Amino acid sequence: MKAILMVFLGGGLGSAMRFMITKVLNKSPLEIPYGTFTVNIVGSLLLGLILGISLKSGALSNNTMLFLATGFCGGFTTFSTFTFENQVFLRTGDYSSFAIYTLGSILAGFAAVFLGLYLSKLV
């Protein structure tokens, strides 16, 4: 039951932060959604950092991992919104925004995870 509570609390916090960031940065459904892009890349960086620290030193307890990685990062990032935003680009025929947003998100997301893993070695 404690594990579920950790995921619940972390997920709620992450979702609330995502909501605030996307409200500020996402201007129009027909523009690149910088808010969603930002939370997904920052979330990828945080996940790489959290998992890297945990793998390196084992310093994070199981409950802390559930709160931060599964809960917070899971609630903070959003694949469903990313895919919905991309279908808007496809539906409206904005193929260049679709390509830029999709490729940029995937490449930057991988780079952010690797950067987080690298940074975890420095702490």
Query: Under a CB-based contact definition with an 8 Å cutoff, are residues 78 and 19 in contact?
Result: no
pLDDT digits (tens, 9 = 90+) for 54-111: 999 888 999 999 999 999 999 999 999 999 999 999 999 999 999 999 999 999 999 9
Cα(71)–Cα(65) distance, rounded to whole angstroms? 8
- Quick one: average pLDDT of 9-19? 98
Average pLDDT over residues 25-43: 93
Q: Tens digits of per-residue pLDDT, 20-29? A: 999 999 988 7
Cβ contacts of 118 within 8 Å, gap of 6 or more: 52
pLDDT of residue 123: 84
First-to-last CA distance in the chain?
32
CB 59 within 8 A of CB 53: yes
Structure tokens at 31: 């523009």
DSSP 107: H
CB 19 within 8 A of CB 39: no
Specify the pLDDT at position 57. 87
Distance CA(123)–CA(91), nearest Å, equals: 45
Which pair of structure tokens corresponds to residue 106? Answer: 């995937």
In this prediction, residues 19-43 reach a mean pLDDT of 94
